[in-house]
Amino acid sequence: MAVDHAAAEVDHLAAERAAARFDVEAMKIAWAGSRHAVDVADRMARLVASDPVFRKDNRTMLSRKDLFKDTLRKAAHAWKRIVELRLTEEEASLLRQYVDQPGYVDLHWGMFVPAIKGQGTEEQQKKWLPLAYKFQIIGCYAQTELGHGSNVQGLETTATFDPMTDEFVIHSPTLTSSKWWPGGLGKASTHAVVYARLITEGKDYGIHGFIVQLRSLEDHSPLPGVTLGDIGGKFGSGAYNSMDNGVLRFDHVRIPRDQMLMRLSQVTREGKYVQSDVPKQLLYGTMVYVRQSIVADASKALSRAVCIAVRYSAIRKQFGSQDGGPETQVLNYRTQQSRLFPLLASAYAFRFVGDWLNWLYTDVTQKLEVKDYSTLQEAHACTAGLKAVTTSATADAIEECRKLCGGHGYLNSSGLPELFAVYVPACTYEGDNVVLLLQVARILMKTVSQLTSGKQPVGTMAYMGKVQHLMQSKCAVKTEAFEARALRMAVNCAQNIGQASNQEEGFYERSPDLLEAAVAHIQLIIVTKFIEKVHQDIPGHGVKEQLQNLCNVYALYTLHKHLGDFLATGSLTPKQGALANEQLGKLYAQVRPNAVALVDAFNYTDHYLGSVLGRYDGNVYPALYEEAWKDPLNETVVPEGYHEYLRPLLKQQLKLSRL
Ligand SMILES: CCCCCCCCCC/C=C\CCCC(=O)SCCNC(=O)CCNC(=O)[C@H](O)C(C)(C)COP(=O)(O)OP(=O)(O)OC[C@H]1O[C@@H](n2cnc3c(N)ncnc32)[C@H](O)[C@@H]1OP(=O)(O)O
Ligand SMILES: Cc1cc2nc3c(=O)[nH]c(=O)nc-3n(C[C@H](O)[C@H](O)[C@H](O)COP(=O)(O)OP(=O)(O)OC[C@H]3O[C@@H](n4cnc5c(N)ncnc54)[C@H](O)[C@@H]3O)c2cc1C
């Protein structure tokens, strides 16, 4: 008798859900942060999913031009709905998230507005923000140039003050000074916050921000002296090609003096440069803000990939029966579990560390308002380091999820290729991950050097103050081992640098080790914040236990993956390392019955997930089959090109065979 495999697969997810040993609804709250957060997210996700304008299943088949126009249409429609429904800022931002298509709006709200808020005076905010809030202007963040991205101090664009006219002259003196990459610049933006070297009274005062109008508000044409366009197609089909990353050159473009963002420093009518009493690093404040939001985004992207891979692994069956009986769900293979469950645990880990980072950012911002700059370094180290570690891990994890889904993972309809292509530049934008980890390493070296002077490290570096204890102790398999590993790696680097002829040379020579020391420090933060989370009061049947398991999986997996560090620094013995690995295997067995419910707790709609493999109902095979027929290649039975290229070839073969 023919078995209806499709019906059997659907039943599988129901059986998986029934087997879960915890309250999924309560876990949704633990994941989202509150009942309110679950409800708002749910409402916005459904609003987007039910609106045909937000359809995205055909995205990878659109040409670049059509994709861009589709992005403009979606952005305009989203704005219309936001205004019509009088959505709050929280609701509007979630709605944009669920539209799930990179576009100029991200940079307008994500960087242009925050740059004016952070670096503009009150007057400048009063003038520019209402225009931006109502979309009467569209803005982008124009910092990176063709020749310089990572090295902000190396930017070449100039803003020279002309006291005769009370204007700045913005100029691109070389090809390499062309602004290159800013999202939204290529086709959509009317304005930009442009970073340029401020020159007044013949002196170069370094990089400052300026609001510059680029396009006419009448017909969108570039203003005189402005040359701009899109920089061209990017990695993957669909994906980040919806974004108009742009190029921009200035030929002596004049702007009024009051368009220099003057909260941090000013130029007077006479051309005098006046430095405010705030640290100049606040110029980098917008980047700090975006880096913390990128950490929150990492858990979103990772949880999407993991949700697809877990559900599909529960559906997919291979081997296990020689006699026609049911085959084994691939989720039951130990290898599948050991590849997948650490990623599931990482999604939760990044979610909680992202929440903590958001708290830290808010706290630092409040302190800055009362001129307390004491936590600026902590904010920089944590945002830079966590951005680097979480985005690298997430990009690798999405690719691993694709492999975990076998051949079907390679299809666009799995959603994974596009998710990867959209996500992977997060390792580069907002600071190349290596460059950011070296920033963390510099702060670690500074902290180690201050230990001897008796200065007590604070915040996430406080553990370094326990130097006597951590350098000597034998550690149990818990946070202390992570602390000892991170501290010992940092101290080793500092000692090696100390032997070099000078500090800079030593830092340069030891930079590969410094990267690893920085990663160890950041992983300690992630583990610590996860542990702190599970120590909180978490309501709901079995929820705390599940989070405890995932926390242990994250910590032990990280330990297993970096066992070399733990052994080399003597933070663990080989026996402890082996025991930790044993324990990890046992934890996977505890995660297994809960895996599907743990990804259900992310509460993603099928629309947002965008994957036939990750469908909530598990009805994978009919959906895959149906999806294939939608490909433009299947619009005709005989392909275009048959008469030109296939038929003559086939006829020729026929003639040859008759010879
Ligand atoms: C709800 C809304 C959500 C919104 C989300 C929106 C997200 C939208 C996503 C859209 C997608 C993509 C957007 C991408 C946008 C971009 O990519 S914008 C461009 C980003 N560019 C970079 O990140 C450049 C990276 N480079 C730098 O940051 C600096 O050049 C670098 C820090 C590497 C070096 O700077 P230098 O000035 O040369 O400084 P140093 O000598 O190394 O350091 C001097 C001291 O300053 C301290 N420092 C450095 N940075 C900061 C900082 N950000 N904050 C505080 N302090 C900082 C550093 O520790 C040194 O301190 P010391 O003197 O030792 O005490
Ligand atoms: C999709 C996307 C969107 C973007 N959006 C914007 C935007 O809206 N606005 C904007 O201004 N910019 C934007 N950017 C630019 C982005 O911020 C830069 O690309 C990023 O900061 C990296 O700089 P870079 O390209 O100069 O890389 P490079 O610094 O040239 O990196 C090349 C290599 O050199 C290495 N390297 C560099 N410096 C060091 C060092 N000191 N020590 C060791 N290794 C080093 C890096 O690790 C990397 O391997 C965007 C980029 C992308 C990809």
| Per-residue pLDDT tens over the stretch 279-337 | 989 999 999 999 999 999 999 999 999 999 999 999 999 998 767 778 999 999 999 99
Annotated binding site for FAD: 144, 183
- Whether 430 is catalytic is yes
pLDDT at 240 over 60: yes
Q: Which residues pair with 230 in a beta bridge?
A: 246
Helix (H, G, I), strand (E, B) or coil at 586: helix
Q: Phi/psi of residue 196, each to 5°?
A: -150, 160
For residue 477, the CA-to-ligand 1 centroid distance in Å is 35
Residue 137: C-alpha distances to residues 120, 142, 217 (Å): 17, 15, 8
Contact in structure between 273 and 205 (CB atoms under 8 Å): yes
Q: Phi/psi of residue 229, each to 5°?
A: -175, -175
| Cβ–ligand 2 contact at 149 (below 6 Å) | yes
Give the global pTM: 0.97
- The H-assigned helical ranges of 205-322 are 285-315
Residue 623: C-alpha distances to residues 9, 31, 287, 618, 629 (Å): 12, 29, 42, 9, 10
Residues 632-638 have a mean pLDDT of 95
Confidence of residue 107 (pLDDT cuts 50, 70, 90): very high
Q: Whose CA is nearest to atom 6 of ligand 2?
A: 182
Confidence of residue 654 (pLDDT cuts 50, 70, 90): low
Residue 148: Cβ-neighbour burial (10 angstroms; 0-12, 13-18, 19+): middle
Residues 235-251 have a mean pLDDT of 94
Among the bound ligands, name the one nearest to the CA of residue 449: 1
| Cβ–ligand 2 contact at 150 (below 6 Å) | yes
What pLDDT is recorded for position 5?
56
Ligand 2 atom at minimal distance to the Cα of residue 240: 1
For residue 174, the CA-to-ligand 2 centroid distance in Å is 19
Among the bound ligands, name the one nearest to the CA of residue 442: 1
Q: Which of 25, 430, 516, 582 is catalytic?
A: 430
Both tokens of residue 289?
């803000």
- Across 6-39, b (16+ Cβ under 10 Å) vs e yields eeebbebbeebeeebebbbebbbbbbbeeeeebe
Q: Phi/psi of residue 373, each to 5°?
A: -100, 15
For residue 285, the CA-to-ligand 1 centroid distance in Å is 8
What pLDDT is recorded for position 83?
97
Distance, CA of 610 to CA of 419 (rounded, Å): 9
What pLDDT is recorded for position 2?
45
Ligand 2 atom at minimal distance to the Cα of residue 143: 11
**Site to substitute for ligand 1 among 133, 290, 383, most atoms within 8 A of C-beta:** 290
Q: Whose CA is nearest to atom 41 of ligand 2?
A: 435
Q: Are strands 158-162 and 191-200 parallel, antiparallel or unpaired?
A: parallel
Annotated binding site: 144, 183
Among the bound ligands, name the one nearest to the CA of residue 385: 1
pLDDT at 165 over 60: yes
Residue with tokens 């044993």: 582
Contact in structure between 342 and 396 (CB atoms under 8 Å): no
Confidence of residue 1 (pLDDT cuts 50, 70, 90): very low
Residue with tokens 């160890």: 520
Q: Phi/psi of residue 395, each to 5°?
A: -60, -45
Q: Please enumerate in sequence order all residues whose Cβ is within 8 A of that of 89, keeping only pairs 6 or more positions apart, or say none.
A: none
Among the bound ligands, name the one nearest to the CA of residue 282: 1
| Cβ–ligand 2 contact at 160 (below 6 Å) | no
Contact in structure between 179 and 246 (CB atoms under 8 Å): yes
Residue 223: Cβ-neighbour burial (10 angstroms; 0-12, 13-18, 19+): middle
Q: Phi/psi of residue 254, each to 5°?
A: -100, 135
> For the chain, first and last CA: distance in Å?
49
Long-range contacts of 213-221 (CB under 8 A, 24+ apart): 213/137, 213/255, 214/185, 214/189, 214/190, 214/248, 215/189, 215/190, 216/190, 217/136, 217/137, 217/190, 220/190
Element containing residue 69 per DSSP (H, E):
helix 64-84
Both tokens of residue 308?
């697809």
pLDDT at 3 over 60: no
CB atoms under 10 Å from CB of 145, counted, come to 27
- Reference 308, options 252, 347, 276; nearest CA is 347
Helix (H, G, I), strand (E, B) or coil at 160: strand
Q: Phi/psi of residue 574, each to 5°?
A: -55, -35
- Going 639 to 644 to 645 to 648, the CA torsion angle's sign is positive
246-250 sheet: strands from edge to edge: 179-180, 246-250, 226-230
| Amino acid code (one letter) for 498 | G
**Site to substitute for ligand 2 among 156, 240, 291, 428, most atoms within 8 A of C-beta:** 428
Q: Whose CA is nearest to atom 2 of ligand 1?
A: 110
pLDDT at 193 over 50: yes
Both tokens of residue 340?
């997948």
For residue 432, the CA-to-ligand 1 centroid distance in Å is 10
- What is the chain's length? 659
Q: Whose CA is nearest to atom 36 of ligand 1?
A: 153
Q: Which domains does the chain have, with CATH numbers?
A: 113-276 (2.40.110.10), 286-600 (1.20.140.10)
pLDDT at 516 over 50: yes
Helix (H, G, I), strand (E, B) or coil at 77: helix
- Across 377-405, b (16+ Cβ under 10 Å) vs e yields bbbbbbbbbbbbbbbbbbbbbbbbbbebb
Residues framing ligand 1 (Cβ under 6 A): 93, 106-107, 109-110, 141, 143-144, 150-153, 183, 281, 284, 287-288, 290, 293, 376, 380, 429-431, 435, 439, 443
For residue 84, the CA-to-ligand 2 centroid distance in Å is 39
For residue 150, the CA-to-ligand 2 centroid distance in Å is 5
- Reference 12, options 327, 305, 322; nearest CA is 327
For residue 206, the CA-to-ligand 2 centroid distance in Å is 20
User: Which pLDDT tens digit goes with each residue over 27-61?
Assistant: 999 999 999 999 999 999 999 999 999 999 989 89
| Cβ–ligand 2 contact at 523 (below 6 Å) | no
**Site to substitute for ligand 2 among 140, 179, 181, most atoms within 8 A of C-beta:** 181
Element containing residue 466 per DSSP (H, E):
none
What pLDDT is recorded for position 415?
97
- Going 69 to 71 to 74 to 79, the CA torsion angle's sign is negative
Contact in structure between 401 and 409 (CB atoms under 8 Å): yes
| Cβ–ligand 2 contact at 577 (below 6 Å) | no
- Reference 213, options 167, 181, 176, 180; nearest CA is 167
Q: Please enumerate in sequence order all residues whose Cβ is within 8 A of that of 486, keeping only pairs 6 or more positions apart, or say none.
A: 463, 517, 520, 521, 523, 524
Distance, CA of 557 to CA of 500 (rounded, Å): 35
Q: Phi/psi of residue 317, each to 5°?
A: -125, 140
Confidence of residue 653 (pLDDT cuts 50, 70, 90): low
Distance, CA of 360 to CA of 499 (rounded, Å): 36
pLDDT at 523 over 50: yes
Both tokens of residue 497?
């640098």
For residue 344, the CA-to-ligand 2 centroid distance in Å is 29
Ligand 2 atom at minimal distance to the Cα of residue 107: 8
- Reference 421, options 392, 395, 389; nearest CA is 395
Contact in structure between 315 and 13 (CB atoms under 8 Å): yes
What pLDDT is recorded for position 127?
98
Residues 599-628 have a mean pLDDT of 97
